[in-house]
Structure 1
């Protein structure tokens, strides 16, 4: 490696460290941001691999941080899983492992969100019931969690 490429790699590492210092980043996210800054893709891959091997970058740590934040925002498992895998590029295996280790009561979280948004009253009619169900679906809760806290109105 010549001196100029060594200097470039050091600058690239510095740039990666600045991004990681702001917050945890997934591998995919870190690579994308560095490539957007006009760094060569092969050099970015090599440096990100090194940072991962050295423990500076970790998809597990990123996923745990990201998932904790989303649970705090009362988002459901399905939405969180989609975001962390599709948008952030974390493997489904890592995301599932982190979600399982957190021991979140998704039924309770769904009920808390329903109560916060709609109060304690059950839906008065089908239209209101559908609105509440749609809202909870969009937040990423599974049907069994939603139906456990939103009772269908009697006809």
Structure 2
């Protein structure tokens, strides 16, 4: 077992992955933002300019895309989180303002439906006590849904009882 671990460690005289190779390995697993790749590649680079050069090349070839990253994040997180939470995550990745605005607008258009589906999976019943109502509201608020949407969901709008 120990021999396998040693095989994975770069040996002296044997080159490790290049910066471009590392970046491609990360991008093969999932879409990344430029900020994420910069952070991940920086420890392996000789200078920040070297990282920027690799990322510029990947963007020019269409292998690194802010739009694809935003779409990927929406696809992964929209069913579980509200627009405010996802907008905050997109802001951390310093995406161009037009891409972030477009992504969050699409989320706001479906916010009630997504919040209601999440609430129905978790609770499924209109709260009967103030404590239960507060618990349900905190659950949705913690996932970044707007106050108005939370009130509508917890009041039972869109709820059909069989």
TM superposition score normalised by structure 2? 0.77
Which residue does the alignment assign to 2:87?
A: 81
**Pair 1:41 & 2:48 matched:** yes
- Per-residue Cα deviation, 1:113-150 (whole angstroms, up to 9, x for no partner): 1111112x211121111111111000110011111111
Give the Cα separation in 1 of the matches to 2:70 and 2:102: 10
**Pair 1:151 & 2:151 matched:** no
> Structure 1, unaligned stretches of length 5 or more?
1-7
**Is the alpha carbon distance of 1:102 and 1:109 closer, same or farther for their aligned partners in structure 2, counting shifts above 3 Å?**
closer
Which residue does the alignment assign to 1:3?
A: none
Which residue does the alignment assign to 2:24?
A: 17
- Per-residue Cα deviation, 1:51-89 (whole angstroms, up to 9, x for no partner): 1122110011011011111013x2111111111222x33
Equivalences, count: 141
The structure richer in helix per residue is 1
**Pair 1:109 & 2:114 matched:** yes
Displacement of 1:38 after TM fit? 4.2
**Pair 1:62 & 2:69 matched:** yes
**Pair 1:53 & 2:60 matched:** yes
Which residue does the alignment assign to 1:125?
A: 129
Which residue of the other structure, out of 97, 104, 111, is the alignment partner of 1:99?
A: 104
| Paired residues of 1:29 and 1:89 also in contact (CA < 8 A) | no
Give the Cα separation in 1 of the matches to 2:107 and 2:66: 16
TM superposition score normalised by structure 1? 0.80
**Is the alpha carbon distance of 1:102 and 1:37 closer, same or farther for their aligned partners in structure 2, counting shifts above 3 Å?**
same
| Paired residues of 1:85 and 1:91 also in contact (CA < 8 A) | no
